[in-house]
Amino acid sequence: MHMTQRDGALDLLKWLALLSMVLDHLRYVGYSLDLLYVPGRLAFPWFCLAMAANLSRSRQVTHQWRYLGWLILFSAISEIPYRMFIPDHDTLNVLPTLALGLLVARGWQQKTLPSRLLAVAVLVLAAVFTEYLMFGVFGVLLPLAMLLVIKRPWYFSLLPGLICLAANQWEVLYYSARLGNSAAIPGIAACLIAPWLGLFLLRHARRINPPAMRRWAYALYPLHFLLLLIVRQIAA
């Protein structure tokens, strides 16, 4: 969301979330890089936290609907590159989850009956179609959880940490940990601490001024799939 006064910590969080996402997707290039699953668990909660930060700092409805429009547009644009890069996909790309999460968080934030009813309706819809959403219904809940704790003491971050773990299929992670998978236990830890770590960055990295991440950054999502697909073809 465009803001006239940039927050360096927020831009840093977005860049780190993007880096975590790319590291996670490097696992599909063709090499044995399973440990990249661990930093990859930071990407989605940090994008959700960035969304919550934007919502908490700008209550202009026009900006929020524009934000939703960009998410929907690039959800559609990104689906083909996503399916090309991850052939065994079983969900949509991540942007529909973020778009639904934005509707839920914004609906709760507005505190009017129509907005609250919209949030509930979207959440019910997400629950019905959870198997088609990346991170499922818990992923849709995560932006709201981030919004609820963003101005609270650090220990409240345990709530979105638990939701993040649920969104990442904690049963599979727990079972993998019991089998001795080297990435499972660190992955569980990464899910639990990701919201706290993101909040720490937002509160203590404000003097850092990375390049501003503006609307053009939406294009990085489909483009990174295409670039990694080229890398996989070269490495094959």
34-53 average pLDDT score: 96
> What is d(CA 55, CA 170) in angstroms, rounded to the nearest whole number?
28
Count of domains forming the chain: 1
- Domain for residue 1, yes or no? no
Residue 48 lies in a domain: yes
Question: Is 214 part of any domain?
Answer: yes
Residue owning tokens 């996909």: 89
**Residue 2 belongs to some domain of the structure:** no
- 158-167 helix and 170-178 helix, angle to the nearest 10 degrees: 80
> Cα–Cα distance between 107 and 117 in angstroms, integer?
8
56 pLDDT more than 70: yes
Asked if residue 167 belongs to a domain, the reply is yes
Distance CA 29, CA 235 (A): 8
d(CA 51, CA 179): 36
Give me the pLDDT at residue 136, please. Answer: 97
pLDDT at 206: 83
Res. 4 pLDDT band, cuts 50 70 90 = very low
- Average pLDDT of the chain to the nearest whole number: 92
Gap between the Cα atoms of 108 and 183, Å rounded: 35
Q: What is the mean pLDDT of residues 104-122?
A: 93
Q: Is the pTM of this model over 0.85?
A: yes
Match 């547009």 to its residue by tokens: 73
53 has a pLDDT exceeding 70: yes
Question: For residue range 141-190, what is the model confidence (pLDDT) as tens digits?
Answer: 999 999 999 999 999 999 999 999 999 988 889 999 999 898 999 999 99
Q: For 11-31, what is each residue's pLDDT tens digit?
A: 999 999 999 999 999 999 987
Domain for residue 230, yes or no? yes
Range of 40's domain?
8-235
Please check whether residue 3 lies inside any domain of the structure: no
Region 8-13 average pLDDT:
94
User: Would 168 be classed as within a structural domain?
Assistant: yes
